[in-house]
Structure 1
């Protein structure tokens, strides 16, 4: 991999544009856009803390050379690309406003002032021309259109972070709401000014979250942390099934993830078990359970001891591949305390659904990769590989463009990769796991993000970031 220089960021606000041609990062009250091919600065904007004359969406020219008078009070809390990379939003929760910039016109800007209701989050809708602003105290979500300059309102959203979802085609917004002390879901037509299509009560007493299936036909909703119960609903609000394992665990559901095809649903609690439900019966077809003993047929990769010191953070080194059955140490968990360190901290399918990544908090230094058979294979899901590290894994992400490529970080001066796409001398595909040092003296990789084309990685430390790109081999 080739690494760029280090650049500053605040609030981990760094992202590739959807087309992967630019990189956005925020530093206090400033938005910086760089070209990925050269990392030269293409655009720089500074958010304006001065309130506009009205709370409506206002468009006006603004020179980017104007600086904020008190950048600490108006630092950027949210920054994001529109779906077509044409616009960038920068929101300040403390300032209570959102400013929108246009990539092709450095002086164009639009502004949204939240007013007395406050602001906790601002996100783009899939069309790239609509912004959702969540107010403080769950009062309402305001939907602003850049095209018409008008707004529509939805009252009492339940959560600003995990309580809404758009269908894959962007047609409908599903929003968790709380009305008359009851959990409800609202379905809104994004193509018709977010007109309410359906509104129905949920079978939950205290909704924890919900997730929309990739096909957009089903919704999985589940109870809070004290009750292990999941319900499958249609978009019309009809309950198809409910799931609760026997015997029911002490604590509830922690993570839920749809298979990319929508045919299966992975459900994980705080008990180190993963239940796989199918979409025909909505009942478990298999289950994975964490064990301290790893059978011999599982590939075990272990990070080499003190490899960073020996290589001085330069180049890369292969993991050690262990043979035979192995035993790993599981941390003891006290379930009498709040937020116990147990269960699945991460549950993520790869692009095709052939692999399921699980990070258990009971063994925070390990990543478990389960093989999931394709429709033409015998249905025998199994543990395929385990990656062992010297430090706890802080983040792991599948490559969005390649089915068998994974990147991980552990809060040290390196990034780790696993792939099943390497070709052996016999021409067969095999696994490969590598430790890659970040060539700088002071850098702790705490978070990572892939570009949409899967060719670049953003590596973030607390205050700095860099990018890493695959080295393309020259043809002979």
Structure 2
């Protein structure tokens, strides 16, 4: 990839990339517009006469058929429409108990599309199977399957499933839900319509936790479908790994094996008879769970960060490892071979440059205003040693700016991008190639080398803020990274453009960090991004929450960036320019000159 070509800007309040489809659908006021993702030419548009405002949910089904869910909590009703037929497929009326959120179920092949609805006060989770496209019209009444007492429900303002208390197996045949029954957490495993011969939902397993006082925050099914990880809330640092049949494989609690420092003879004698703590060593491979630990909660270390718990959990490549981001700012990686921690990494406060191949790149200051959004600029290399200053810790806030907010793995599993809330303008990229090689052909009991920090990306926002927003980032679904094509990470942070980092393809390379401007007329600040499934289009939006759900009904703008590879024909999308009244101005690619850009804007 050597360049990007950019589409014009379009007004919208929500935009969705349809799964398994070369199209996208955008919502502008009461109009739905279906466009071709290749050139944004309109395919059809229609008006929803009863469209409510503001919307609580605007989401596309994750599989065929490509239905769109429109839900308004204020009107207590949801509409399911089919962009291909311009028709209303179904309408869901919410009862008097109310509904705090709706989402699409990720059911497998052969199952009808299903809408999930969470009632207020955690009363129940309803699953509405929709009629198939071949069903007669009008559609029959929807009979939901109800799951009682779900512990959590998704936030309408969040576009991520994490923190919602449910997870689907990758093939969509089973659903795991975190429930609360008789003051105890339980994991219910349900078969979806694609898993049963009758096509109905059913409870197949209820998993009880080893500790009846456990307070779980969320759970996640592994990409391979063989494991379910469930972790505790902010009050503790505990991760359980189960099989779908309910067998407990491991309980990981890194701080449970830490005893207080031997400051007196009494403490020395009290700990001398215990097994030495291996977690106090400096090597990350020595961190273990508490399988053989007999320490009580009162015996645990009283260090300031103990008890802050887990903030985010992400499965790695093919379920080979589980990455845990804590409020202590550390990322611990567990291997499925024994479920012990094989790595512990974090954003350093000082880089000396004496060990490894650490690279630090800084975004050019005021590059948008200096270039007027034209062209692609490289990040500036930062000489080492270099120091980072975290945000001042304000413990008076309920959620202080600290800890690991996001862990995003690349498709190959070699790279992981980490966002630490204490360093809001820093993107840390770690190299886990040693773990990938070990998972491929290593023997049991072999100690893997330590993953290393490869690159630090320092962002320089044009409008500095004491509480800057967290950048949104995503790895490009690579079309051929196994054939030598470099993996690409893209991010946005409220600028009139986006950033990208191209991973090195050999040990001699350092990678390449660039910022891509959007030479569009008018104000535009990208807050969210989403790749098309094939990775050949990147949707950039000025609305902070537009990927799957949003409570905001304010009007924003969006554009699409198309990667251009060496040898490819230059593609300048122009179909949308004659597409009606949403177009705001031209935004060409890097090959546009300033005069050409101004001429293109005047034509609109």
Provide the TM-score with structure 1 as the length reference: 0.88
Contact preservation (8 Å) 2:69, 2:80 = yes
Partner of 2:264: none
Partner of 1:6: 9
Q: Quick check: 317-326 or 428-437, which moved more?
A: 428-437
Name the SS of the counterpart of 1:120 in structure 2.
strand
| CA spacing shift, 1:472–1:96, aligned 2, 3 Å | same
Aligned positions of 1:113-128 closer than 5 A: 113-127=93-107
Name the SS of the counterpart of 1:25 in structure 2.
strand
1:189-223 deviations in whole A, cap 9, x for unaligned?
11231111011323453221111111122122122
Contact preservation (8 Å) 1:31, 1:90 = no
Contact preservation (8 Å) 2:234, 2:307 = no
Please tell me whether residue 401 in structure 1 is matched to residue 478 in structure 2: yes
Q: Quick check: 27-36 or 294-303, which moved more?
A: 27-36
Partner of 2:276: none
Partner of 1:465: 558
1:369-418 deviations in whole A, cap 9, x for unaligned?
00002543663311111111113542111112366210011111110000
Partner of 2:511: 431
Name the SS of the counterpart of 1:137 in structure 2.
helix
Contact preservation (8 Å) 1:398, 1:406 = yes
| CA spacing shift, 1:314–1:142, aligned 2, 3 Å | same
| CA spacing shift, 1:333–1:108, aligned 2, 3 Å | closer
Partner of 2:205: 198
Partner of 1:379: 449
Contact preservation (8 Å) 2:414, 2:436 = no
CA distance in 2, matches of 1:122, 1:294: 45
CA distance in 1, matches of 2:227, 2:72: 35
Aligned positions of 1:441-456 closer than 5 A: 441-456=522-537
| CA spacing shift, 1:220–1:76, aligned 2, 3 Å | closer
Q: RCO higher in 1 or 2 (8 Å CA, sep ≥ 6)? A: 2
CA distance in 1, matches of 2:186, 2:27: 36
Aligned counterpart in structure 1 of residue 384 of structure 2, from 324, 329, 339: 324
4+ residue segments displaced more than 6 Å: none
CA distance in 1, matches of 2:369, 2:26: 31
1:9-41 deviations in whole A, cap 9, x for unaligned?
33xx32211235111223344433211123233
1:278-331 deviations in whole A, cap 9, x for unaligned?
112212112113321124220111111222222111111011122333222222
Q: Quick check: 436-445 or 351-360, which moved more?
A: 436-445
Partner of 2:293: none
Partner of 1:354: 414
Partner of 1:282: 339
CA distance in 1, matches of 2:46, 2:78: 13
Name the SS of the counterpart of 1:261 in structure 2.
helix
Q: Quick check: 304-313 or 404-413, which moved more?
A: 304-313
Contact preservation (8 Å) 1:229, 1:243 = yes
Provide the TM-score with structure 2 as the length reference: 0.70
Q: Unaligned stretches of 5+ in structure 1?
A: 48-66
Please tell me whether residue 156 in structure 1 is matched to residue 149 in structure 2: yes
CA distance in 1, matches of 2:396, 2:378: 41
CA distance in 2, matches of 1:360, 1:475: 37
CA distance in 2, matches of 1:336, 1:71: 39
CA distance in 2, matches of 1:19, 1:218: 27
Greater Rg by CA: 2
Partner of 1:266: 323
**How many matched pairs?**
450
1:92-114 deviations in whole A, cap 9, x for unaligned?
22222221122332235321112
Contact preservation (8 Å) 2:57, 2:102 = no
Contact preservation (8 Å) 2:347, 2:428 = no
| CA drift at 1:171 | 0.8
Please tell me whether residue 44 in structure 1 is matched to residue 45 in structure 2: yes
CA distance in 2, matches of 1:212, 1:268: 17
Please tell me whether residue 420 in structure 1 is matched to residue 503 in structure 2: yes
Give the structure with the higher percent strand. Answer: 1
| CA drift at 1:421 | 5.1
Aligned counterpart in structure 2 of residue 78 of structure 1, from 58, 78, 90: 58
Contact preservation (8 Å) 1:100, 1:110 = yes
Partner of 2:596: none
Q: Unaligned stretches of 5+ in structure 2?
A: 133-141, 155-163, 259-300, 439-447, 462-467, 482-486, 544-555, 570-604
Please tell me whether residue 145 in structure 1 is matched to residue 129 in structure 2: yes
Aligned counterpart in structure 1 of residue 349 of structure 2, from 275, 282, 292: 292
Contact preservation (8 Å) 2:431, 2:452 = yes
| CA spacing shift, 1:314–1:389, aligned 2, 3 Å | same
| CA spacing shift, 1:288–1:423, aligned 2, 3 Å | closer
CA distance in 2, matches of 1:112, 1:71: 14
Contact preservation (8 Å) 1:405, 1:421 = no
Please tell me whether residue 215 in structure 1 is matched to residue 224 in structure 2: yes
Partner of 2:237: 228
| CA spacing shift, 1:169–1:201, aligned 2, 3 Å | same
Give the structure with the higher percent helix. Answer: 2
Partner of 2:465: none
Aligned positions of 1:153-192 closer than 5 A: 153-161=146-154, 162-190=164-192, 191-192=195-196
1:27-85 deviations in whole A, cap 9, x for unaligned?
344433211123233233444xxxxxxxxxxxxxxxxxxx23x8436x46322234125
CA distance in 2, matches of 1:44, 1:173: 35
RMSD in angstroms over aligned alpha carbons? 2.4
Aligned counterpart in structure 2 of residue 132 of structure 1, from 84, 103, 116: 116
